[in-house]
Amino acid sequence: MSRPAAGHDSDGQGGRPAHAPVDVPSARSPTSSHRLPSLLAALCDRLPEDRIVALEYVLEAITDSGDPLLSRFIAAQPASGLAHQLNEITGVWQAEAPDMAGAGLALALATARSFPRPHPAQVVVSGPMGASVTARLTSGVAVDVIRSADTSLLIASFAAHGARDVVTEIARAVGRGVHVDLLLEESTQASAAFAALPHEVRVWHRVETSGVLHAKLIAADRHTAFLGSANLTDRALTDNIELGLVLRDPHIVEPLVDHFHWLLAPENNVMRIA
């Protein structure tokens, strides 16, 4: 077999000179040691959009991770575990990207916030919590989920008492045209906590039966649901040891909402208007 003529490339395509290899940076592997992107994504998963935007404003005003303005912002955060989470981000920022200005980190946060991606289930608690635990508190989550509703709210609780912030947020939802259904246990007089709400709110009790309505749920439209052990009482929202989850996957939330709509259907004789 004859060799290729001089001046030809090695694959025999005449007239095309061979090129020297070019140094191209290798792609970063999925196991890269850089932690900052994943920490920012986790923060976006935890906080509602308005809280992330507030942090972005602070970052845009500072030049580096040691700025006292950022320290004061972190120290002022009331949510349990949030200051620890933000301090971890600050430390990793200093270690991995010390030359990046605050505006660069703000842009990274805005990108993570705006990019559509599935949201993992989020742990919610009431009662005592360690400083490094990143779960959110029941009282704030209940208000945030109600606030996220555009068209409908479906709320179930065995007991209700006080919960002024929740009642206020429900009234605001009605004011912006959200359809509200409250499923409450009649034997606990739970409906009294919502007596001041507009007449458009529909209150439901279970029909006469040997069982009770014991579910605890706040579902916003068909995209977000908060469920757990806490009733809508002041103690359950703050002091009791309670546990719950926020779900933001419509594939899970939709059948959950459909189940409760089935319970409300008159032909099924499960719930009745109070």
Structure confidence by residue, pLDDT tens digits, 12-55: 444 544 555 555 545 444 444 589 998 998 888 888 788 899 99
Structure confidence by residue, pLDDT tens digits, 109-130: 999 888 766 677 889 999 988 7
Give the chain's residues under pLDDT 50: 1-14, 16-17, 25, 27-32
Burial status of residue 31 (CB atoms within 10 A of its CB: 0-12, 13-18, 19 or more): exposed
The continuous run of DSSP H or E covering 156 comes out as strand 152-157
* Residue position matching structure tokens 């029941």: 138
Evaluate whether residue 167 is within a structural domain: yes
Evaluate whether residue 257 is within a structural domain: yes
pLDDT attached to residue 32: 47
Same domain flag for 102 and 127: no
Q: Of 83, 114, 145, which residue is a domain's last? A: 114
pLDDT attached to residue 164: 96
pLDDT attached to residue 49: 83
Same domain flag for 108 and 210: no
pLDDT attached to residue 82: 85
pLDDT attached to residue 154: 98
pLDDT attached to residue 124: 92
Same domain flag for 264 and 138: yes
Same domain flag for 181 and 212: yes
CATH code, domain carrying 261: 3.30.870.10
Evaluate whether residue 7 is within a structural domain: no
Burial status of residue 143 (CB atoms within 10 A of its CB: 0-12, 13-18, 19 or more): buried
Q: Pull the structure tokens for residue 195.
A: 């007596």
pTM greater than 0.75 (yes/no) = no
- Range of 73's domain? 36-114
Same domain flag for 169 and 76: no
Evaluate whether residue 15 is within a structural domain: no
pLDDT attached to residue 114: 85
